[in-house]
Amino acid sequence: MVNHVEIGIIGGSGLYSLLDDADEVEVETPYGPPSDKIALGRIGGRSVAFVPRHGRDHVHPPHRIPYRANLWALRSLGVRQVLAPNAVGSLRPELGPGTLVVPDQLVDRTSGRVQTYYDTGCAVHVSFADPYCPQGRAIAVAKAVEAGWDTVDGGTLVVIEGPRFSTRAESRWFSAAGWSIVGMTGHPEAVLARELALCYTALSLVTDHDAGVEAGEGVTHEEVLAFFAANVERMRTLVGSVAEALPAERDCVCGSALDGVKLPFDLP
């Protein structure tokens, strides 16, 4: 097993490949196979592992993505920092399509998804007050602004179960609560990363206004994919620049998430 990769990237809807010159590996995990083969390559001077969240043919709906396998596989390859681009809907009129939100908070509105590695053997509780890596967030914001993105530093991502989109009433409820964007895949990905003491940074591209924000027929899957596809090269470039800028040595709180915790098994 390769055990030297620095940075993991989990590609969202429309971002099914990232590395132009890559080797592919199959990784076995205690939680089954990841979403797809993992591509190994380099971005600048950094070693990178890329996995398409939904699979290259978009075969995994949000509630069936093998989240535990994906994060475990990345850690087993040596990854300690994860970038997670994803497509989201806006819950605020001022956050229009094309806006890049780098969220600092998360609300879980999913149901039935396994969201922990530690469900047997002993009770393991990790701090999740701040779900995202502060270093990764700061670098992502800086690089996005530098590249000319309409960038929002902070905001709350509410994650719904899917695969359906929100009703207008649900969308208005989320907006009234003060949340910024809505998606289907940011959880349990972020908490699983924390349970493995990984840094995790979300790069959320607004593809549409959610159903309760403006009049119309509501968002469709085809529209989301089409918008993301139109921006995929720009997103690839941004992800690459953020990956290159991530620190070689971590000094954030993410790496100490499991300090003093007795685990029921050894991590890879």
Asked whether residue 262 is domain-assigned, the answer is: no
pLDDT of 16 > 70? The answer is no
- At 29-86, the pLDDT tens digits run 999 999 999 999 998 889 999 999 999 888 999 999 999 999 999 999 999 999 999 9
Q: What is the CATH number of the domain that holds 62?
A: 3.40.50.1580
Asked whether residue 217 is domain-assigned, the answer is: yes
- How many angstroms separate the CA atoms of 67 and 48, rounded? 19
Query: Which residue in the list 36, 130, 153, 208 is annotated as catalytic?
Result: 208
- Across all residues in the chain, what is the average pLDDT? 91
Q: Indicate the pLDDT class of residue 230, thresholds 50, 70 and 90.
A: confident
Can you name the residues that pair with 159 across neighbouring β-strands?
108, 183
Residue-range definition of the domain harbouring residue 47: 7-256
Q: Which of 144, 113, 121, 134 is nearest to 194 (CA)?
A: 134
Arithmetic mean of pLDDT, 180-209: 96
Name the domain count of the chain.
Answer: 1
Q: Would residue 208 show up in a list of annotated catalytic residues for this protein?
A: yes
What 3-state class would DSSP assign to 84?
Answer: strand
Q: Which range has the worst mean pLDDT, 126-135, 216-225, 232-241? A: 216-225
- How many angstroms separate the CA atoms of 47 and 243, rounded? 9
The Cα-based distances of 160 to 7, 63, 140 in angstroms read 27, 9, 24
Query: Which residue in the list 57, 150, 210, 251 is annotated as catalytic?
Result: 210
Contact 191, 66 (CB under 8 A): no
The Cα-based distances of 252 to 8, 111, 121, 138, 172 in angstroms read 17, 30, 28, 12, 35
Q: Would residue 20 show up in a list of annotated catalytic residues for this protein?
A: no
**Global model pTM greater than 0.85:** yes
Asked whether residue 261 is domain-assigned, the answer is: no
Asked whether residue 122 is domain-assigned, the answer is: yes
Asked whether residue 12 is domain-assigned, the answer is: yes
Contact 204, 183 (CB under 8 A): yes
Asked whether residue 266 is domain-assigned, the answer is: no
Asked whether residue 265 is domain-assigned, the answer is: no
Q: Which of 231, 230, 178, 176 is nearest to 203 (CA)?
A: 231
Asked whether residue 268 is domain-assigned, the answer is: no
pLDDT of 92 > 90? The answer is yes
Q: What pLDDT was estimated at residue 161?
A: 97
- Supply φ then ψ for residue 197, to 5 degrees: 60, 40
Arithmetic mean of pLDDT, 7-28: 79
